[in-house]
Amino acid sequence: MQIEQGTFTPLVFTTTGSMGPECLQFHKSLAEKLATKSGERYSDVMNFIRCKLSFMCVRSSLLCLRGSRTVRRDQVESGTDFGLYNLELNLEG
């Protein structure tokens, strides 16, 4: 951070969608920049961001509670790339 003159802003959310103070400031700044660039109203852009965040929080909470629905396959040999290609292409055999 000292070399590149950057900052770090943690984006902290609760499972209900509440934001930490730095996260709220980041989203206000992001909405303002997007509204200026696109010519949209600030309130519409902020509404869009909050809606997207809400669905992302719900999706991640459900994933944590319910778990993934994908079938886990641990049968791939670690030394071959072909096993990974077959797994990605759903080719079994």
Query: Which residue shows structure tokens 């509404």?
Result: 47
Instruction: Provide mean pLDDT across the span 4-33.
Output: 83
Q: How many CB atoms lie within 10 A of CB 50?
A: 14
pLDDT at 31: 92
Read off the pTM.
Answer: 0.59
Q: Which two tokens stand for residue 57?
A: 């929080």
- Higher-confidence residue of 49 and 1: namely 49
pLDDT at 63: 81
- Higher-confidence residue of 5 and 48: namely 48
pLDDT at 32: 94
Cα distances (Å, whole numbers) of residue 43 to 23, 34, 46: 17, 11, 5
Cα–Cα distance measured from residue 91 to residue 93, given in angstroms and rounded to the nearest whole number: 7
Chain centroid to Cα 43, Å, comes to 22
Q: Is the pLDDT of residue 93 over 50?
A: no
Mean pLDDT lowest among 43-52, 59-68, 72-81 = 72-81
